[in-house]
């Protein structure tokens, strides 16, 4: 992050209050002392998560003027804001479309669908709203946690797999896919799918991810295109020979 409004060494503490749980007090303190949270307010972003995309885009040069972008799990809208700025999407030429089952306040230059991405109609609705194949599919989706680490991980990995399948079915050749996951072992099938369909696959943890956070991002760059991918699959099947 280029700048911070937090004077060096300043730490805000929240006093103990009757009825305020210790966990809630710690969360409030963390928010008050997080320079990314304060900078998001100063810069007009919906959340600190905007800086995760900014940092990853600054490093890998993903978003370019004129591109079309799909944002899966768009709430509260920070990634849509960054995407609009960087691709130059405008209200009369929408190039950024988001989707979330949570209501999102309007983002100028973006269209945000209020529906669950897992709904059968969601992919077609996204493509219709975008008006063409996306150059980039972003996914910051995460399943609501239930406190059981393995179950939470599996539920989020399912969202990653569905997002990756959508990316492979819709992206333009040369396009990119960026998806949030969690440390603890990326599923082998997902990595194999991405390596088969993209020229490069990276694991990325941007500086804006909080210390101690287990979140991690998978970046798949340079989609090979459906014809080339299908040819590779067919060749692999032929080399494997008949089962039996």
Residue 179: DSSP 8-state: E
- Would you say 189 is a known binding-site residue? no
Is 116 annotated in a binding site? The answer is: yes
Q: Which of 61, 84, 74, 193 is nearest to 140 (CA)?
A: 74
Q: Cα–Cα distance between 27 and 108 in angstroms, integer?
A: 30
Residue 184 annotated in ligand binding: no
**Cβ-proximal residues to 119 (8 Å cutoff; 6+ apart), any chain:** none
Q: Which residues contact 21 (CB under 8 A, 6 or more apart)?
A: none
List the catalytic residue out of 41, 172, 180, 195. 180
Q: Is 140 annotated as a binding residue?
A: yes
Q: Is 41 part of the annotated catalytic residue set?
A: no
Token pair of 241 as six digits: 């020979």
CA 102 to CA 33: how far, in whole Å? 27
Residue 100 is assigned to a ligand binding site:
yes
Q: 176 near 204, Cβ under 8 Å?
A: no
Pairwise CA distance, residues 181 & 173, whole Å: 24
Q: Give the number of other CB atoms < 10 A from CB of residue 126.
A: 23
SS3 91: coil
Please give the order of strands across the beta sheet that includes 110-114.
110-114, 96-100, 69-72, 136-139, 176-182, 215-223, 198-204
Helix axes 149-170, 226-240, angle to 10 degrees: 110
Q: Which residues are catalytic?
A: 180
Binding residues for S-adenosyl-L-methionine: 77, 79, 100, 116, 140
Binding residues: 77, 79, 100, 116, 140
């Amino acid at each position: 992050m280029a700048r911070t409004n937090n004077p060096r060494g300043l730490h805000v503490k929240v006093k103990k209050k009757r009825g305020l749980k210790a966990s809630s007090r710690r969360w409030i303190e963390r928010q008050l002392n997080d320079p990314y949270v304060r900078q998001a307010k100063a810069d007009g972003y919906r959340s600190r998560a905007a800086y995760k995309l900014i940092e990853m885009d600054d490093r890998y040069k993903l978003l370019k003027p004129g591109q079309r972008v799909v944002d899966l799990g768009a709430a509260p809208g920070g990634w849509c804001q960054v995407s609009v700025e960087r691709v130059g999407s405008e209200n009369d030429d929408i190039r950024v479309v988001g989707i979330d089952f949570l209501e999102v306040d309007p983002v100028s230059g973006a269209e945000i669908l209020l529906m669950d991405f897992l709904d059968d109609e969601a992919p077609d609705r996204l493509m219709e709203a975008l008006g063409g194949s996306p150059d980039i599919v972003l996914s910051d989706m995460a399943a609501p946690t239930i406190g059981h680490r393995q179950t939470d991980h599996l539920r989020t990995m399912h969202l990653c797999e569905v997002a990756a399948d959508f990316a492979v079915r819709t992206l333009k050749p040369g396009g990119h896919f960026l998806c949030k996951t969690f440390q603890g072992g990326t599923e082998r099938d997902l990595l194999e799918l991405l390596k088969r369909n993209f020229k490069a696959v990276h694991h990325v943890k941007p500086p804006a991810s909080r210390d101690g956070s287990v979140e991690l991002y998978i970046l798949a760059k340079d989609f090979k295109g459906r014809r080339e991918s299908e040819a590779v699959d067919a060749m692999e099947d032929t080399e494997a020979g008949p089962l039996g």
